[in-house]
Structure 1
Amino acid sequence: MNWITNYVRPKISSLLATRQVPDNLWIKCPETGEMVFHKDLEANQWVVPSSGFHMRIRAKDRLGHFFDDGAYDLVDLPSVAVDPLKFRDQKRYVDRLKENRAKAETDDAVIVAKGAIEGLDIVATVQDFAFMGGSLGMAAGEAIIKGFETAIAERRPLVLFSASGGARMQEGILSLMQLPRTTVAVEMLKEAGLPYIVVLTNPTAGGVSASYAMLGDVHIAEPGAVIGFAGARVIEQTIREKLPDGFQRAEYLMEHGMVDMVVPRHQLKSRIATLLRLLTKAPAEPIAGLIAAEPAEPGEAADAHGDSETQAAVHA
């Protein structure tokens, strides 16, 4: 055995070789420019620790943080015709679908899951912006409707996380028809007497904001989310006026009555659970270490069900 060839030379080569560093090892905060280690960002639910900037989060990652113990069951979704219009622009639509399925690791832009938050059984529908900008096509429309049907059949509240640039142009009128179809599904849930909570994430635009995303019983927005129909630049060019600062941002919409509350991502689970207990008249979550809740003193701002902001949103 030649120990110089078999041992020494490979050892020296490994020490001198250039190490490959992953491209996404550090991620830049869009708001402050700060570089954040991607593992720290992932552990913090993709919220930049120093600035609080809410970055986009993948649908399955969101579900893992949202449900109790990260446990949930995906709902089987209906299959639809692939590329019904035989659409082609710079590349074939079927090729775009294959690329996005590999990138997003989902069949389309919407997934539906069943699970529990703080012991309350719910159905959650999540749009993934990583799949063609969360655009609404036939598959996404069928998935959203399936979520409503599942909630009605199992008597569960439905929580929908919207993230979309609007309708999917590669499916033309077939995409636009999902707007009235999903709106009918919302009405079916309300006729069944079940709560429907919408969480508006960045961005929620186009036909999505003109249909099911703005028809909830309560509308919650993540901080800084862009929410609207047409883009701000298009509006400025149309009306030939400068728009106010923060126009179409979550905080601006809450000030003008379009959103009930703006809630940071880490607080969404507890806030939604509180809202659902109010809307379903479920018993309040027991406080660890206490046998029974002490009666509230006169003049206290909040009761056992939640803070005053939550109460105001429900009774508005």
Structure 2
Amino acid sequence: MAAIIEVNNLTKRYGNKRGITDVSFQVEEGEVFGFLGPNGAGKTTTIRLLMALLRANSGTACIAGLDVWRESVEIKRLVGYLPGELALDPNLTGGQILTYFGHLRGGVDQAYLKQLIARLEFDPSRKFRHYSSGNKRKIGIIQAFMHRPRLLILDEPTSGLDPLNQQEFERMVKEVRDDGRTVFLSSHILTEVEQTCKRVAIIREGQLVRVGSVEELKDIKRYEVTITFASAVPVEDFKQLDGVEQVEALAAGRTLRLTVQGQADAVIKAAARYPVISVTSHEPSLEDIFMRYYEGDNTATREASHVVH
């Protein structure tokens, strides 16, 4: 399948401050591609370069075969863009803002627009300045989707949305994919990317450290399981289980805190042999995962930076 986004050795510097360095990846037409990394890693800089809101120091980027800087007007006709932060007229209502964007697009399908408004439970009658951060995000999502663009570029799209709206957004993304169109979305939430994306690029401190399928994230995804038992249990029974990397005994052995990678099936089956009072599972933030997996290991970062297609 042909690539709709092609990025080659893209570099952006902010004086002495880090931007991005030699970033290269491709996004195939019709896929949902995740751009994953901790806050400040370089996700928004990359997106602003793709949208010609910043100019690169070096490297190239093309969308649908068009140079992102020289042919940015043509590109914007193909793209629905959601920035990380929306700066809109505070005195306009949501409906007026969407009408304005619709006119910029030369008109949009009003039935589809009303459907998007209903699906996200958005009230278009209020002024922008009165909206919560979640409702401001909804305006951004609606204006990005409403002209059915060939490519959606979305910067932290679910930030501020409640869980129900997040689920609706995921359904909207899958519909775009099923329609053969493309979604490029940035996120610092590992679970969000897992649920929506086929492939991901992971960026850290302005450099790509991994490009590959979502399944390949399993080697960095770790979470903690805390199990409290009615009485002390033998710790050794859990240390040798598949996927268990670390076991910490608390409360005189009545509570175990396990670091688990991958499936928790073996842990649950082992725990079921004893009287269990409670089980809790905690997924660390992406920042925590990156600190654990990449911190201070420049060799590992270089080895991980190979591109997997």
Instruction: Please report the TM-score for the alignment, with normalisation by the length of structure 1.
Output: 0.31
Which structure: greater strand fraction? 2
* More contact order relative to length (CA 8 Å, sep ≥ 6): 2
Select the structure that is richer in helix: 1
